[in-house]
Amino acid sequence: MTRHLRSDVDLNPQEYLRVLDLAQQLKRHPEHYRDKLKGRSIAVIFSKQSTRTRVSFEVGIWQMGGQPLILTSSGSTGMQMGRGESTHDTAKVMARYVDAIAIRTFGQNEVDELAKHAGIPIVNALTDLYHPCQALADTLTLRERFGETRGLKLVYVGAGNNVAHSLMLAGPRAGYDVVVACPREVPPRPRVLKRAQEDAKRFKTRVRVERDVHKAVKGAHAIYTDTWVSMGQDSEADALRQKLQDYQVNAALMEEARPDAIFLHCLPAHRGEEVLDEVMDGRWSAVFDQAENRLHVQKALLLLLLGIESWS
């Protein structure tokens, strides 16, 4: 059966931890995996601009001996799916050429359609609904800083977006609690929250939404934020900044968490808006370790989804 990472729910807790274990091995001993993708071609499709996703996938595939194909869905050199070719037809054609596809796009439906029709592994490299590769990198960073993830408390501060959604689903799978501190006007999607809370109950963790950011960060091991204005939200920018102005992460807020708390951000950061320099460059910051970990978890994911490494 072909395995995919359409969203975080495609991994059960044991599989989630297996990705982290393998990512740590890849990080420590990359030379042991140098030829694991020899003879394999991986397409990485972009409908959105990217720095970390593009570089980490392209470098990671190359480091394991594979051929990365970086493709766009628009512009003069873009794929035909940017000019109206169906996702169904794109999936069928690409499956004849490549061994797996990672895609960074807007609609979750594109990822799901590719997975339905391609017959090769599909990796969600970001949609407007989920960002599972990022959540894996975040969880690996927590493990590196605290030794293990079970029993930790992560507080996400800001609008209930794709990053918040994946963190809410990642927490139960890795054993940590997640609190989303957000204004009433920009909550997480109800169906994602419902699924996350069902998973949390099953896996004995907690996921909740909190309006009071100061109450939320008490006892936090990690405080996490994201840009207030995501790609495609330019028309809402001023309104979003107004709603989120009381949710800025600064040194005073970090001091309200645990003494050993860390700061996380998926990047790019808009310094002076959602976070201040005193935090980004301060003693709490783990953002650049976090960014590096995208490379390692994505390499692990590809090896597992392609069946090159075992899930057990």
Separation of alpha carbons 94 and 150, rounded Å: 39
CB distance 169 to 7 below 8 Å: yes
- The residue annotated as part of the active site, out of 8, 165, 266, 296, is 266
Catalytic site includes residue 80:
no
| Most distant pair of Cα atoms in the chain: their distance | 55
- The residue annotated as part of the active site, out of 4, 133, 134, 290, is 134
CB count in 10 Å sphere of residue 206: 15
- The residue annotated as part of the active site, out of 4, 52, 104, 221, is 104
Catalytic site includes residue 131:
yes
Residues 6+ apart with CB under 8 A from 192: 129, 165, 168, 169
- The residue annotated as part of the active site, out of 173, 294, 296, 298, is 294
CB distance 38 to 66 below 8 Å: yes
DSSP string, 160-175: --HHHHHHHHHHHHHT
CB count in 10 Å sphere of residue 29: 10
Separation of alpha carbons 284 and 195, rounded Å: 31
Catalytic site includes residue 246:
no
Separation of alpha carbons 42 and 122, rounded Å: 10
Of 161, 147, 134, the residue nearest 264 (C-alpha): 134
CB count in 10 Å sphere of residue 138: 30
Catalytic site includes residue 266:
yes
Separation of alpha carbons 264 and 79, rounded Å: 34
- The residue annotated as part of the active site, out of 6, 40, 131, 195, is 131
- The residue annotated as part of the active site, out of 6, 226, 290, 298, is 226
Number of Cα atoms under 13 Å in the Cβ half of residue 224:
29
Q: Say whether 4 sits in a helix, a strand or coil.
A: coil
CA torsion angle for 65, 27, 25, 61 (degrees, to 10)? -20
CB distance 210 to 223 below 8 Å: no
Catalytic site includes residue 226:
yes
Catalytic site includes residue 134:
yes
Residues involved in catalysis: 104, 131, 134, 226, 266, 294
